[in-house]
A and B are shown apart, each in its own frame.
Chain A
Amino acid sequence: GENVEQHPSTLSVQEGDSAVIKCTYSDSASNYFPWYKQELGKGPQLIIDIRSNVGEKKDQRIAVTLNKTAKHFSLHITETQPEDSAVYFCAASRGAAGNKLTFGGGTRVLVKP
């Protein structure tokens, strides 16, 4: 089955700096890669996703890159703000409805004002 590794496990950045989180996956058939943000006591919320036919996707301060050959993908948050502090999870699946997501272990991001 799929295995997703995520690094780092914790990340502390100064407000305004960039944050980068990296994930690798093992299943070459995976083609859907979402990122979730989880705030304390809440459920994960989808913040951005990317499919294997695209190498990069951007949404305001958030961008995701995908390297299918190397089987890794990354989340980039620019101009970080205190409200970006949360746990971020990457995930991978084969993309069709019904295919389960396999999650990375999570990255706790702390943005220091």
Chain B
Amino acid sequence: NAGVMQNPRHLVRRRGQEARLRCSPMKGHSHVYWYRQLPEEGLKFMVYLQKENIIDESGMPKERFSAEFPKEGPSILRIQQVVRGDSAAYFCASSPLLAGGTGELFFGEGSRLTVL
């Protein structure tokens, strides 16, 4: 009964490179959320996706960041032209699609991005 799987767990990039973070939700879950956690801070919502649709991207920076959740395969958070301020832990969470749903989120172990 695998949980939310994220990879890579650790990623090092130089300024200007691209970072791709992947998330496979729990089996049977069709909602995916991405959160960012800066060192010593709380989790900040970035984006919420269902299969092939972005539902809420109100927390995504306007530039360089994008997310997708294709019909097949994991959800991907993509950061182009990374800067030092992008260094953070990025967490993916999933929840099931239930009528009158519970809102309960299950988190992965996170991907820790370091930008040199």
A36: B residues at CB distance < 8 A: 107
Q: Is the interface of A mostly helix, strand, loop or mixed?
A: loop
CA of A55 to CA of B29, assembled, Å = 29
Q: Are A43 and B102 in touch, CB under 8 angstroms? A: no
A107 to B101, CA, bound (A): 28
* B108 near A100: Cβ-Cβ < 8 Å: no
In the complex, the number of residue pairs spanning A and B with C-beta atoms less than 8 Å apart equals: 67
Complex alpha-carbon distance, A99 and B45, angstroms: 11
Set of chain A residues within 8 Å of B43, measured between Cβ atoms:
44, 89, 103
B1-28 interface bits toward A, Cβ cutoff 8 Å, 1 = contact, 0 = none: 0001000000000000000000000000
Q: How many residues of B contact A (CB 8 A)?
A: 30
Interface positions of A (Cβ within 8 A of B): 1, 6, 32, 34, 36, 42-46, 49, 89, 93-106
Q: Could you name 7 residue pairs across A and B whose Cβ atoms are closer than 8 Å?
A: A1-B58, A95-B103, A97-B31, A97-B97, A100-B45, A103-B35, A103-B44
Q: A1-B58, A32-B102, A89-B43 are in contact. List 11 more A-B contacts (CB 8 A).
A: A32-B103, A34-B104, A42-B110, A96-B103, A97-B95, A98-B48, A98-B50, A98-B101, A100-B48, A103-B44, A106-B42
Q: Which residues of B contact A (CB under 8 A)?
A: 4, 31, 33, 35, 41-45, 48, 50, 55-56, 58, 91, 95-98, 100-110
